[in-house]
Structure formats: structure tokens, C-alpha cells
Amino acid sequence: MGQDALQFGKNLANNQSIQFMVADMASEIEALRSLVYRTAWLVDNGRPFTKEAGMCKLLGSEIASRCIDRALQIHGALGFTRDGWVERGWRDSRINEIFEGTNEIQRIVIASELFQEIGVRIRP
């Protein structure tokens, strides 16, 4: 979306629903960034990080999908054209939920680590 993106002759940035979507995207991305930095800190300091790495993979893929869905909504039909970056982002975001361990597997890893922290053993 460029600085002068217009819809019905009005700047898209002046549309409150667009503002809400952009604010939600920025908030989710910033929360994920904090989790990534915390996970990197754990790695750098030789601490266990399996749970946090799983959370980064899970949230990262889901936030990417939500953000690109919002971008498609903002761009409308132009978001689906093969010439634009939004359509490519949509295809790329979907694969992130599948490779490097599906999101369901990441949830199992996270839950196992959480239960292990409180001394509950999960049967394999």
C-alpha cells in the first residue's frame, strides 16, 4: 500500500477499519519480536529454549498468515494478482504453517515442555 493508495477517491489510511487492521498487525508482530529476542537470549546464555523456539515457530507462522490475510483484505482484488507482493506473501505464509514441523506438532512440543516443567509426564 503506497502513501497515496486510494479507494473511492479517499486515502485508505483515513479508513478506520484499515487503521484497526494495521494496528493489529503491528501489535502482533511486535509481540512476536519480543518472544524471538527472549528465545535468542536463552540460546545465547546456554539455557533450555525448546518451548520458546516452538512458540516462535507456531506464533510466527500464524501471525504471518493473519497479517497477509489482512493485507489481502486491504488491497482487495489487487491483492490476488500475480504481479503483486501480497499474493506471493499469501502463498509463502501458508507453507510456513506446514514445514519445520506443523503447527500441531509445535503445540505438542510446547505442551510437553510445559507439563514437564510442573512434573507431569505425558505418555508417548
Segment 11-15 shows an average pLDDT of 84
All three cell numbers of 9: 477517491
DSSP state of 101: S
* Amino acid letter, residue 10: K
Query: Lowest mean pLDDT: which of 65-69, 72-76, 82-86, 92-96?
Result: 82-86
Residues carrying an active site annotation: 100
Exposed / middle / buried, residue 96 (Cβ in 10 Å: 0-12, 13-18, 19+): middle
pTM: 0.80
Rounding to the nearest 10 degrees, give the CA dihedral for residues 91, 92, 94, 98: 140
Sorted by where each starts, the structural domains of the chain and their CATH numbers stand as 23-117 (1.20.140.10)
> What is the average pLDDT value for the chain, to the nearest integer?
86
Segment 64-83 shows an average pLDDT of 79
Q: At what angle do helices 50-75 and 85-96 cross, to 10 degrees?
A: 150
Binned at pLDDT 50, 70 and 90, residue 67 comes out as very high
Rounding to the nearest 10 degrees, give the CA dihedral for residues 96, 98, 104, 108: -80
Beta strand 6-7 with 10-11: parallel, antiparallel or unpaired? antiparallel
pLDDT at 11: 81
* Amino acid letter, residue 48: P
Query: Lowest mean pLDDT: which of 24-28, 39-43, 53-57, 83-87?
Result: 83-87
Q: At what angle do helices 16-44 and 50-75 cross, to 10 degrees?
A: 160
